[in-house]
Amino acid sequence: MAGNWKMYKTPAETCAFFEKFRPLILQAAHCEIVICPPFTNIPAAVEASRGSAIQVGAQDLYWAKEGAFTGEVSGPMVRAAGASYVIVGHSERRQYFGETSESVLKKTVAALESSLTPIVCVGELLEHRELGKTDAVLCEQCRKGITPLDVRQIVQIVIAYEPVWAIGTGKTATTQQAQDAHAFIRGVIAKMFDDNVAKKVRIQYGGSVKPSNARELMSQPDVDGALVGGASLEARSFADIIKNSI
C-alpha cells in the first residue's frame, strides 16, 4: 500500500503526518506500507518513520548515477537518503514531462541497480478506453517498458495499473475494470516469462482509491495493493484504506 504525495507537504508537514499516522497503522501487519513524498521531504520522512514498519519512496529518479544533469536525482542519491522504493513512469510524468516507455525501462533498471524497488506505472487514457484500446495500450507499455527486464529483475518490481482517467478525478475504475486490467497485465508477463513469474509480480491499482472503495478493489484476485494519491495525504484516510485492504 503506497502513498504518492505528488507535490504536496513541507518537511514540517511531513513530520506532523507521521506523528498522526504511526499509531493508526500499528496493527497493519498484512501489507507493506510506503510513503512517497517529494524529494525534499525524504530525509524528514525517513527520520519520522524510524522504528516503524513504514518505508519511504521517491516519486522519480534519473537513470545515470551522477553527472551534468541539472535538476535530476539519481538512484544512488535516493537510496543514500534512506528511501527503498521509487515510483517510475507515473502518468503525470508521462503526460507533462515527456516520460516514455523507453525512459521508464531505463529508470526501472537504474532503480534495481540502486537496490530500490521500482513501482512502475502503466495505464490508459480515457480516449483509449472509449475506443476499446485499453489492452493494446497496456500491452505496448508493458512490452516496451517492463518485459525487456530479465526474470531476476521482473520479480522484484511492483507494477501500478493506473487508468489515467481515474487519477485525481474521483472516478474510480469498477472492480471488474480493475480486475480485468490486472489479469491482462499478468497475462502479458506470463506470455513473456511464465505463469510462475507472473504470479510473483505484485500489481497495485491506482486511481481515486478511498476508504470506501478499498475493500472491494483489494478483494479482487489480481489486485495486490494500491497506489494512493490524494487520499494518502491525510493520515486517517490512508490508515483507513490500509485497514480496509485486508
Task: Rule CB under 6 A: say whether 227 interacts with ligand PEP.
Answer: yes
DSSP code at position 74: B
Nearest distance from C-beta of residue 197 to ligand PEP, angstroms:
25
Task: Give 145 or 193: the residue with its C-beta nearer to ligand PEP.
Answer: 145
Q: Distance between CA atoms of 36 and 103, rounded to whole angstroms?
A: 20
Shortest CB 26 distance to ligand PEP, Å: 24
Residues 39, 59 contacting (CB under 8 angstroms): yes
Q: Nearer to ligand PEP by C-beta: 89 or 207?
A: 207
**CB 37, min distance to ligand PEP, A:** 13
Residues in Cβ contact with 123 at an 8 Å cutoff, skipping those fewer than 6 apart: 91, 138, 141, 160, 161, 162, 163, 164, 167, 206, 207
Residue 223 binds ligand PEP, judged by CB under 6 A: no
167 binding ligand PEP? (CB under 6 A): yes
Q: Would you say 38 or 229 has its CB closer to ligand PEP?
A: 229
74 contact partners, CB below 8 Å, separation of at least 6: 61, 62, 63, 64, 65, 66, 110, 114
The reply to whether 162 belongs to the active site is yes
Q: Does 206 bind ligand PEP (CB under 6 A)?
A: yes
Whether 89 contacts 107, CB under 8 Å: yes
* Contacts with ligand PEP, residue ranges (CB under 6 A): 4, 6, 162, 167-168, 206-209, 227-231
